[in-house]
Each structure stands twice: as C-alpha cells, then as structure tokens.
C-alpha cells in the first residue's frame, strides 16, 4: 500500500534529498519525524553524520526564527535516511500562534 504522506524534493546543505514527515512511533510520542532520504547512502558512516550535522545547522537557523528547535533522531534504523524530531510542543505553539493572529 502506498503511503499517504507526501514526499517533497528539497535541496538542503547542498544535497538533493527527498523529505517526508511521519508521526513518531515511540511510546513517548515526542514529535513529528522529519526524514531526509538519500538516493544512495554514503559508504562511510562518518560522511552521513557530517551531512546530518550540516542539515541540522540549516534547520536550526531556519526554524529558530519561528521558535522551533529540532533534535537529531539517533534511533533512525535506515542507512539512507537522516532523521530529526520536531517536538510536539513546538509545533503546537506555532499552530496556536497562527490561530490567534
């Protein structure tokens, strides 16, 4: 069955990646999972971590302006995915701010 979640083509940290959002499936339900999917994962895990760091810097700069912090998801099991958690409280604050304006 095909996923109903949209997939976006994005360029971030100089890389063309696919981006999808999925609900966090952990017992804590911490937030929304942002998954940056690489067509071909790097052979060296250090290269993947370096790209994750670059993406993190971009996300912190862009989302920080609206009060959203993201956290690297170190529980991501996929070699071709770099994942970040957007906390529920940050998302809900932005949504409530939009509703109030």
* String of DSSP letters for 15-75: EEEEEEEEE--STT--EEEEEEE-SS--SSHHHHHHHHHHHHHHHHHHHHTTT---EE-TT
Q: What is the pLDDT of residue 75?
A: 87
Look at the block and give the residue holding tokens 């360029």. Answer: 11
pLDDT of 24 reads 63
Task: Decide if pLDDT at 93 tops 50.
Answer: yes
Mean pLDDT of 3-23: 90
pTM for the model stands at: 0.85
**Greater confidence, 12 or 22?**
12
Residue whose tokens read 């895990």: 45
């Amino acid at each position: 069955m095909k996923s109903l979640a949209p997939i976006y083509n994005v360029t971030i940290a100089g890389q063309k990646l696919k981006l999808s959002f999925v609900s966090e499936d952990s017992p804590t339900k911490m937030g929304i999972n942002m998954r940056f999917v690489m067509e071909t994962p790097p052979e060296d895990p250090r290269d993947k971590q370096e790209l994750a760091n670059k993406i993190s810097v971009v996300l912190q700069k862009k989302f920080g302006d609206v009060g959203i912090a993201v956290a690297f998801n170190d529980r991501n099991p996929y070699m071709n995915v770099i994942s970040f958690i957007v906390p529920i409280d940050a998302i809900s604050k932005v949504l409530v701010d939009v509703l109030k304006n």
